[in-house]
Structure 1
Amino acid sequence: MKTTGFILVIIGAIMMIYTGFNYVTTEKIVEIGPIEISKEKKNPVNWSPILGGVLLLGGIILISKHSKK
């Protein structure tokens, strides 16, 4: 449980610092014989920093409960 707590603390801290990321996909627009026109599209993935805080707090609670035993 202590390892899980440390993992949650690390993930929570990262989620509070970085609130999202983008990934790029390529879409075909037109394909006429050997000629191909494509477009890169950015797809954002965002989350609330509050979620990172909840994970951070949960990890701290797991670590502290394991230390008391």
Structure 2
Amino acid sequence: MRALSIIGILLIVMGVVALAVGGFTFFTTERVVDAGPLQIDVQKPHTIILNPIVGVVAAVAGVALVLADRRATA
């Protein structure tokens, strides 16, 4: 396989995953009080929403790269 095919397949997989998942959440810990022996930490959620258009564009671009590589080798 050539580089274009590998990149195309990766884009297809990432596009399908973006369409299937839709978004993900991760947490960060922030210290809000640090007064001597008293320490209070708060976990804040951060949500990243993946637009379905991004998944479709990635999948279509991946298919285009795979097809372009196959035409170049033929």
Work out whether the TM-score is over 0.5: yes
Q: TM-score, normalised by structure 2?
A: 0.85
Pairing 1:68–2:65 present: no
Pairing 1:3–2:34 present: no
The superposition leaves residues 30-69 of structure 1 with CA deviations (integer Å, 9 ceiling, x where unpaired) of 1221110111110111120111100000100111121223
Percentage of pairs with the same residue: 28
Query: Which consecutive segments of 4 or more residues in structure 1 shift more than 2 A?
Result: none
Superposed counterparts of 1:1-69, under 5 Å: 1-69=4-72
Deviation at 1:15, TM superposition (A): 0.7
- Alignment length, in residue pairs? 69
Which runs of 5 or more structure 1 residues have no equivalent in the other structure? none
Aligned-residue CA RMSD in angstroms? 1.0
Q: TM-score, normalised by structure 1?
A: 0.90
